[in-house]
Structure 1
Amino acid sequence: MRWHNFVAVGDSFSEGMDDPYPDGTFRGWADLVATRLAAEAGPDFRYANLAIRGRLLPSVTSDQLPVALAMRPDLVSFAAGGNDILRPKCEPVAVCDSFHDSITRIRATGADAIVFRFADVTLRLPGQRLVGPRVAYMNERVGETAEQTGAYLIDLYQDDEFRNPLLWSIDRLHLSDVGHRRTAAHVLHALGVAADEDWMLVPPHPAPAPWLLARSADLRWAGRYLAPWVRRRLTGRSSGDLISAKRPSLAPIIREDA
């Protein structure tokens, strides 16, 4: 095993929402990957996860990345920018330039980097005309960054199974436990590490709901998730304002339920 420590940085995607442990804390793809890497590397393997929900790219690069690099990891996952491109006022070119600079910084230390082309969340969210082109542009730039820096590229955008709503949580933005397992399998396959075959399995697509039921579900979703998101944007708040990193320093994998 070439990796003996792994640090995840980013936002809710890497924090593990919405894939809860029995105690209500979040697991997610990064914990699953770390557990598998630890099984390969042995008891000396260490893992940290600095990702916090709601974080924008400038916060990740200024607050999380320096801490991660100070740990001198040999593997870093960097997944950020998704929250930025959902904002009405966003400069995608600047976001992607900053993303590229961050991966360059990671690779300059000799560490390997993992980056993601995100699955298309616009299928389930409003504002497709605004956000869709930004997602496509960022995914293109992430692919270019991976090619130029030698980072491991995890291309979730090309995986049509992520069009299945059962891979997403009820909020339509975060992955479900099924989505996180499939993401973990993609990461491990890219790293050349065996994954649990069941992690790639997905349930059948649900039958389309009748129009009236679907619109009622849309209204309930808007009241429960969209309205609070809009309020946070208007007040300058974030869902992660009172949240700290779940694994702020490198430590062994000890959770039996990981």
Structure 2
Amino acid sequence: MSWTRYVAIGDSFTEGLGDPYPGGGWRGWADRVAEGLATANSGVNDGVMYANLAIRGRLLDPIVTEQLPAALELKPDLVSMSGGGNDMLRPGADLDALAGKLDEAVGQIRATGADVVLFTAVDPVGSPVIRLTRSRVEAFSDQIRLLGAKHGAYVVDQWQMDVLRDWRMWTVDRLHMSPAGHRRVALATLEKLGVPADDWRDPVLDPLPELGRGARMLWNARWARGHLAPWVGRRIRGRSSGDLITAKRPTFRPVIDQSG
């Protein structure tokens, strides 16, 4: 399969937070996938056109009601859709309603003839706070796998990617992937699509050294003060990190390789 019109929709994961370009702005796994598609399609027609409508902080509902219609207007042949992670962090998340919304959205995309890429969550077992959501995140990931089978969508199963439980794959806020994490997800996505790419399993990382109890408590306390507290504050005020943000790539543009 050769895709030449790729649109990515979602939240900060898809926007690329944590993976900066040297000159400013965010790269992320979706940009890296677009570059991989462009390399695979080198010399074919006009190459690969790519748009990224994702905005940090977005819940699944605005992804479906705002980003999806804009994406379909571009008439893509490939759409990656990741959403629900921010919903999962809220205690009252309705899994059935979220799964139903995602089911309808994927059906709309597939009805146009475009292919779809979905993502399960990463297993949060190693996170001192987010692991409290693990049971519902796992249940939602199960739903995503079922939706993939139902609609013939590609599913990148991050839950099974043990390397993503390594903190070197994440930035200091523990919510956004580092460049290394984004790279692994991009390579896993290309593998799922059958596009030639490096193996996301390499290099195999040596285990991180174990922190003592005191060092671990200090590490967690600094994270809570510097990152968890501001996040909770925004929730209390009904604000989002993406309130003043617009899509970084709202229309199709040719892909420029940023390999590295």
User: Quick check: TM above 0.5?
Assistant: yes
Q: TM-score, normalised by structure 1?
A: 0.95
Identity of aligned residues (%): 44
Q: Could you give the per-residue CA deviations for residues 205-233 of structure 1, whole angstroms, max 9, x where no partner exists? A: 31011111110111110011100110111
2:27 aligned partner: 27
Instruction: Indicate whether 1:230 and 2:228 are aligned.
Output: no
1:219 aligned partner: 221
1:45 partner amino acid = V
Q: How far apart in 2 are the matches of 1:191 and 1:198?
A: 13
2:107 aligned partner: 104
1:48 partner amino acid = A
Q: TM-score, normalised by structure 2?
A: 0.94
**SS state at 2:117 partner:** strand
Equivalent residues in 2 for 1:7-22, closer than 5 Å: 7-22=7-22
Q: How far apart in 1 are the matches of 2:21 and 2:130?
A: 32
Q: How far apart in 1 are the matches of 2:247 and 2:203?
A: 30
**SS state at 2:160 partner:** coil
Gaps of 5+ in 2: none
Instruction: Indicate whether 1:52 and 2:55 are aligned.
Output: yes
2:2 aligned partner: 2
Q: Residue 44 of structure 1: CA displacement?
A: 3.1
Off by >6 Å, runs of 4+ in structure 1: none
* Shift in alpha-carbon separation, 1:200–1:108, aligned structure 2, 3 A: farther
Q: Could you give the per-residue CA deviations for residues 24-78 of structure 1, whole angstroms, max 9, x where no partner exists? A: 3111110011011012223431000001110000110111000000100000000
Q: Could you give the per-residue CA deviations for residues 164-209 of structure 1, whole angstroms, max 9, x where no partner exists? A: 1111111111111111111011111111111134774253231011
* Shift in alpha-carbon separation, 1:75–1:200, aligned structure 2, 3 A: farther
| More moved, 68-77 vs 36-45 | 36-45
Instruction: Indicate whether 1:93 and 2:80 are aligned.
Output: no
Q: How far apart in 1 are the matches of 2:157 and 2:190?
A: 13
Could you say what the CA RMSD is over the residues aligned between the two structures, in angstroms? 1.6
Gaps of 5+ in 1: none
Number of residue-to-residue matches in the alignment: 257
Partner of residue 61 from structure 1, selected from 47, 59, 64: 64
